[in-house]
Amino acid sequence: MKTVLALLLCCIATVPLKAQATSPVKSEYLHWLYLKDSRRALKGVIIEANDSSILFLDNFTLSKNKKATYTPQLIPVSSVEKIKYRKRKDFRKGLLLGGLGGAATGAVAGYADGDDECGPGTWCIVFFTAEDKAVLGAVLGVIPGMAIGALVGSSKKTIFINGNQDTYNLSREELKQYTLAKN
């Protein structure tokens, strides 16, 4: 009985390890390539910025297709309208930092308001101390802070190409910093 339980435990422990396939392509930046003749942006990773073309790996190939081939597309510069990019984890980082900033701002504002005082001859229904107001301000400040952080974190930087080779050559060095092959 102990042997069967041990074998079962080993099988259960190794099954999740096989199910966690990782993508061989992991870039620090996400890219959106807008082509002149298409309304849909290609979302993925720019592998390399060549002299007259861009080597691009579409995320659709990586995530939607179960048997991904990982064959990059060679896109000529003449068909590229603009390229947008941002860091991969900026949205989550913005959400977290915005929430913390909103909580801190709300707590400071609540604490700065001080204790409620009920003067002689007045009738007070709700009475808050400065600490109570600080906690309430922190709780109420988290949501707007997270919203602002998400907006800032999800912002993308744009490089306009407009199919012009000269414009691409001017911005190519900047683009190379955000590609998979940074040489």
Query: Mean pLDDT in runs of 10 for the chain (183 residues)?
Result: 48 49 63 88 88 82 53 88 88 92 92 82 81 91 93 90 91 86 66
**Number of domains the chain contains:** 2
Same domain for 144 and 54 = no
- Give the pLDDT of residue 139: 93
The CATH number for 76's domain is 2.30.30
List the structure tokens of 54.
Answer: 């861009």
pTM, entire model? 0.64
- Give the pLDDT of residue 102: 93
Contact 45, 27 (CB under 8 A): yes
Same domain for 83 and 33 = yes
Q: Other C-beta atoms within 10 Å of 37: how many?
A: 6
- Give the pLDDT of residue 20: 43
- Give the pLDDT of residue 22: 46
Distance, CA of 55 to CA of 73 (rounded, Å): 6
Same domain for 130 and 47 = no
- Give the pLDDT of residue 19: 45
Q: Other C-beta atoms within 10 Å of 89: how many?
A: 12
- Give the pLDDT of residue 67: 53
- Give the pLDDT of residue 70: 66
Contact 57, 48 (CB under 8 A): no
List the structure tokens of 166.
Answer: 């000269």
Distance, CA of 176 to CA of 55 (rounded, Å): 11
Instruction: Look at strands 42-49 and 29-35 and give their pairing.
Output: antiparallel
Domain annotation covers residue 170: yes
- Give the pLDDT of residue 166: 92
Same domain for 95 and 49 = no
- Give the pLDDT of residue 183: 57
Domain annotation covers residue 8: no
Same domain for 99 and 74 = no
